[in-house]
A = this chain, B = another copy of it.
Amino acid sequence: MSAQKAYEELIKRVREVSLLYSCESVLGWDERTYMPRGGAAFRAEQLGLLSGLAHEKFTDPKIGELLAQVEKSDVVKDADSIEAANVREIRYQYDKRTKLPKELVEEITRVTTLAQGEWVIARKNSDFKHFQPWLEKVVKLQKDKAEAYGYDGEPYNALLDDYELGATVDQIVDVFTGLRNDLVELLGKIKGAPRKPDVSIIERDYDVELQRIFGEAVAAAIGFSFEEGRLDITTHPFCTGIGPGDTRITTRYNPKRLNDALFGIMHEAGHGLYEMGLDKKNHFGTPAGETFSLGLHESQSRMWENQVGRSRAFWAYFFPQAQRIFKESLAGVKLDDFYGAINDVKPSYIRVEADEATYNLHILLRFELERPLLTGDLKPADVPGEWNDRFKKYFGIDVDRDANGCLQDVHWSAGYIGYFPTYTLGNLYSAQFFAKAVADMPDLTQQFESGQFLNLREWLRENIHQHGQRYRADQLVQRVTGKPLSAKPLIDYMTAKYSEIYGF
């Protein structure tokens, strides 16, 4: 077989694996939206079969042989070519996935399935002792996983790589620590500020059907295509890029609070725009047409949710529409008061309910515990104490119960250690990209004010989406913004916004 033929065969096989995963995506979407309750056990079987088949096909030694042949050929001689990127990233994943012993994968699945059930009980009773033995098991298995992968530096790097490919603690720890210090300082200023937004504006009656109509109008305005996508309701909102021409988002509506679904829809639509912006038509199922960085993905959702959706310019355009739709609850409300209300900052226990300013503090705290958990410097038994000490230091409040502290998130019970940092990476990328977009399009604020959002969408498509996995996240940030990752754009953006709203 010629090297070109081998490359084509490799792509064909990898694409087929992705096609199987895309079937899983449809079944997963269905499971969370419309599946009758009675179908749950059977659905697990269907999903198990599909992922088993996909894994089997991807770790087939034939993939390794094809890779070896192509790697030493002219097909990849141009390191910047799509072919080279595809081969590089397929190799990376192939080596990773073939390194994990089947028994370890099965044991992780078995333990985390049980651990999630026990976590639900522990959280309900706010009983850390109940969860502790399971956290110990999970941490142990994650250490084993890190060892199986192998790593430079500390074991955390191996886990982080599963979610933020190529990222290392060394790359991010200084940025994170700087961000933490700046956020604690910013929070102090906000707390002591003379002005406070009136949040009651957004906590009135907001008819769910009207929220849907307004949310869909907003999603369409920023470029989410309802010809190639849809919006449904789920308990836990998500976005799934099923394949070319099919990207779906979900949300949940709170009839007493406008923010949840509105910014939730913009968030998921931001993920959706990334999926829609990938070149799936030509490269579906191969690295060139897919994403690999949760941080980059989150940067897209957070930009549309925060830099756009929580901007004054966005509401200069959309607020009159909102007032027409939510006639009673927004009657007589001033734009600036509404803008203040949707940007209210208030330290609270729960990460998923956190505002834009405190959100990253929640993440950084978790990151600071996960690393020593992996090295063994922090014992699972000591997690609540360590959590509560840091929470007091960063947020200025005492954690009243572990359900509001270290037991709040599903991640650890599910074995997702190394996942949290991607949320903050997303916020950092988002601010850094957005600052560059503003530099490239100095009239972006005016564009938003007149309802023009598609130039930003195009900018993102051109600079980020279309590249798929051609560049690792750190390379892409450097390439697009001309600088390495930094906390400065995020802090500058927040300081400017909150000083205006809070008057400090």
Contacts and interface: CB of A to CB of B under 8 A. Distances in A.
A225 interface: yes
Contacts of A46: 19, 22-23, 26, 243
Interface string A6-25: 00000000001001101100
A53 interface: yes
A198 interface: no
A45 interface: yes
B226 A49 contact: no
Contact of A39 (B30, B53, B228): B228
B22 A245 contact: no
Contact of A30 (B30, B43, B53): B30
Chain A interface residue bracket vs B: 35 or more
Contacts of A100: none
Interface string A195-224: 000000000000000000000000000000
Interface in A230-266: 230, 232, 242-248
Contacts of A1: none
Contact of A36 (B37, B45, B228): B228
A232 B50 CA distance: 26
A352 interface: no
Q: Which of A38, A43, A232, A248 has the most CB of B within 10 A?
A: A38
A244 B42 contact: yes
Q: Which of A39, A40, A230, A247 has the most CB of B within 10 A?
A: A39
B39 A246 contact: yes
A53 B36 CA distance: 27
Given A16-B49, A19-B45, A34-B230, A39 B225 contact: no
A227 interface: yes
Contacts of A226: 36
A41 interface: yes
A451 interface: no
A384 interface: no
B38 A245 contact: yes
A443 B239 CA distance: 55
Given A36-B228, A42-B284, 13 more contacts: A22-B42, A23-B27, A26-B30, A26-B46, A38-B225, A38-B228, A38-B229, A39-B246, A41-B244, A42-B242, A42-B245, A42-B246, A43-B246
Per CB-CB distance, the 8 closest pairs between chain A and chain B, nearest first, are: A39-B246, A38-B245, A38-B228, A42-B243, A39-B245, A42-B244, A38-B227, A19-B49
26 contacts: A19-B45, A19-B49, A22-B42, A23-B23, A23-B27, A23-B49, A23-B50, A26-B26, A26-B27, A26-B30, A34-B34, A34-B232, A36-B227, A36-B228, A36-B247, A37-B227, A38-B228, A38-B229, A39-B244, A39-B245, A42-B242, A42-B244, A42-B246, A43-B246, A46-B243, A53-B53
